[in-house]
Chain A
Amino acid sequence: MTILKALGQTRRSFIEKLVAASSFVILGPTVAEAETAGENRDGCEGFVIVNGWVLTDEDIRYQQKFSMHDL
């Protein structure tokens, strides 16, 4: 397994845990749409807040690779 793949597995595992932990709803296809659907707050530029979770743009992009059925 390449390092890249291993990192991908870690992030997938995290996203799965996140969904299970928080009834996290998968967002739209882009970060911009995720921000709209999420709860951006002052002082939290560069992050997206969804259901209280403070997430990175990369988190949002990565979860878009999964369908809800995968999770």
Chain B
Amino acid sequence: MIFDFNEAWTRITAAAQYDVCICGTGPAGITTARKLAAGGKRVLLLEGGDLSYSEVSQELYLGKSIGRQYWHVQSGRLRYFGGTSNHWTGRCGVFDPIDFEDRPYFGMPGWPISRERVLKGLDEAKDILDISGSNLAPFEDSEFRSTVFLQSGFALSPPTRFAEKYEAELRQSERIDFFYNANLVDIRLNSAQTLVEGLLVRSFTGQEVKVSARRYVLALGAIETARLLLSANKQAPDGVGNRSGMVGRCFMEHLNVPIGRFLVTAPDFFRKEVALAPNSDFLRQNNIGNGIVHFEPNSLPKSSGRLHVFKQFLRETSCLHPSLTKIARQLVDFDCAGDGVVSSLIEQAPNPSSRIKLSREVDKLGLPIVELDWEFNDQDRKTIKTLAMKAAQEMARLDRARVQLARFILNADQEIEIGGHAHQMGTTRMSSKSQYGVVNEDCRVHEIENLYLIGSSVFPTGGGTNPTLTIVLLALRLAEHLNVG
């Protein structure tokens, strides 16, 4: 059933004992809740935002970028029912085997669980995300016989909006009580700090209730989960689950680097999407992270503004005659069909210096706002430059295109232009040893017996593909574990 906590807050305390309380209704939270309910568990599902977007809720995601400029602290995530699934683009892929391995050059351990264990629920996850097809991993392309690159495999979800897809089911569920406008503001532990005794939940109208369950799951995203753990510091001065100091550390993104542009020499090859994924041997030989190098032809050049008509005229005339193109470009810059840009999604190494911290400023609920100190290291620079250079070489060697690399790829003394893909990961990473992570193989906080974290915050490494499918796979795995206990 669904309740507005602003109005029905008293119903939580009157309700029956819950087996599991889940905070967050993005793909991780909703997937976990549904699977637990299907297993017979009583679930309390809490969402801080409303059923639809509201400024009042969204502004609680305001944060500061104090390291590398990061544009997605607030805009890259959504604080209402369905979470960030309300604006994701739907690209799904599975992590490669190498993504799960220990890679000593990263300086931090890899995944403590195998790829096979993560992919166990793949068919169920595909149903949840409305994807089909089997090419979810990189595959050999008979038209591009490279010894280094495969074609990136992926499926496109419609994209699934979790709120739209599952609202009716949640309304009818007798095992899930779903409260929206229910903001988690504190985590209360027992005196030994080994158990969560309850969560403090506050409405936008000022009511506050302590809710209890046998076990608790935070599914709030990599920024917010770390923020809530760090800010719950009344009993544990460094925050909940943070004895090793790892909460908030190893913030990772998929690096979005504009590698350069290209000229097509084999137009037929680019009639399909060309996204190159390096093979594992190449990654191991070069000690670099994973990624995708994406070739996007400007087959339909776009422009707008006052020069639009003029640029269109130049495309239709001078692009047919390269010598004219050169002259025309002295007047105004424009693209010709057949040109294209090379973009990328590149794995960032887990780096303890890249981290979430708390500001002294607080939001309207009294919680400290986030300071994100996003940092890169030489390992990241090496990954970017190696993948960019090799992709350019392979395109030339196989005569599909020629690539003009950005200056910062070639010049060691020029800072690389790096953005993100709004894939926030790693701040409560999974590790079998507490010194390297916050949760264990079961996504349970190392030092607390009944607190679990789920979502991309537990990724020990970010892999070379979009994260949502893996988030859903891990949520299914967590629910299976909790259903047994």
Contact = CB atoms under 8 A, between A and B. Distances in A.
Contact of B322 (A46, A53, A71): A71
A38 to B, nearest CB: 11
Nearest to B385: A43
Interface residues of A, number: 26
Given A17-B263, A39-B410, A49-B410, A54 B405 contact: yes
B404 A53 contact: yes
Given A21-B325, A54-B393, A14 B405 contact: no
Interface residues of B, number: 25
Interface in B307-357: 322-323, 325-326, 329, 336, 338-339
A56 B397 contact: yes
Nearest to B329: A20
B322 A17 contact: yes
Contact of B389 (A21, A44, A56): A44
Nearest to A10: B265
A20 B404 contact: no
B396 A71 contact: no
A10 B407 CA distance: 27
Given A10-B265, A52-B260, A53-B403, A23 B326 contact: yes
Given A17-B322, A39-B410, A51-B404, A56 B263 contact: no
Given A14-B265, A43-B389, A44-B389, A52 B322 contact: no
A49 B263 CA distance: 15
Interface in A11-52: 11, 14, 16-23, 39, 41, 43-44, 46-47, 49, 51-52
B326 to A, nearest CB: 4
A21 B393 contact: no
B241 to A, nearest CB: 42
Contact of B410 (A23, A41, A59): A41
A21 B407 contact: no
B392 interface: yes
B402 interface: yes
Nearest to A70: B323
B406 interface: yes
B386 interface: yes
Contacts of A56: 396-397
Given A54-B389, A59-B396, A20 B326 contact: yes
A55 B395 CA distance: 10
Interface in B391-416: 392-393, 395-397, 402-407, 410
B406 A52 contact: yes
Contacts of A21: 263, 325, 336, 339, 404
B295 to A, nearest CB: 13
B410 A20 contact: no
20 contacts: A17-B263, A17-B325, A18-B402, A19-B322, A20-B322, A41-B389, A41-B410, A43-B386, A44-B389, A46-B393, A47-B393, A49-B405, A49-B410, A51-B404, A53-B405, A54-B392, A54-B396, A54-B403, A55-B396, A56-B396
Given A18-B263, A41-B389, 7 more contacts: A10-B265, A14-B263, A21-B325, A21-B336, A22-B404, A52-B405, A59-B402
Closest 6 CB pairs of A and B: A20-B322, A54-B392, A20-B325, A16-B322, A52-B404, A20-B326
